[in-house]
Amino acid sequence: MDTRRLGLVWVTGDPEAARNMVLMYALNAKLKGWWDEVRLIVWGPSARLLSENAEVSAELENLAAAGVELWACKACADRYGVSDWLAQLGINVLYVGEPFSKMLQGGWTCLTV
């Protein structure tokens, strides 16, 4: 059977959407085996939200422990001045345009929130 791979592109800076949708779904998708691979990509305003909201950023530890891959867009994080801070949270900070394009071309299911 093919690997079921989910890419969650998290762009919103809304803490309610973060806690009550994207982070909750990412965690449960991995823990409950809905998807074999789950990759959360912090892109745009979500990078700033993580740096400003301790409640939201604290949830990343559970995601990482469950095996969710954590990525962040380096260009966006640099613009917000949070690249080093995100890396300290255990997020892989990289230029995501090309790798994300390869995900799409490689059959990943992607959801943008």
| pLDDT digit string, tens, across residues 48-104 | 999 999 999 999 999 999 999 999 999 999 999 999 999 999 999 999 999 999 999
CATH number of the CATH domain containing 59: 3.40.1260.10
Residues in the chain: 113
Token pair 């604290």: residue: 58
- Among candidates 34, 104, 96, 17, which has minimal Cα distance to 68? 34
Spatial contact of 62 and 30, defined as CB atoms under 8 Å apart: no
Domains held by the chain: number: 1
* Domain span at 96: 5-112
Token pair 């891959």: residue: 69
pTM: predicted TM-score of the whole model, two decimal places? 0.95
Bridge partners for 37 per DSSP: 5
Residues 77 and 47: their CA atoms lie apart, in Å, by 6
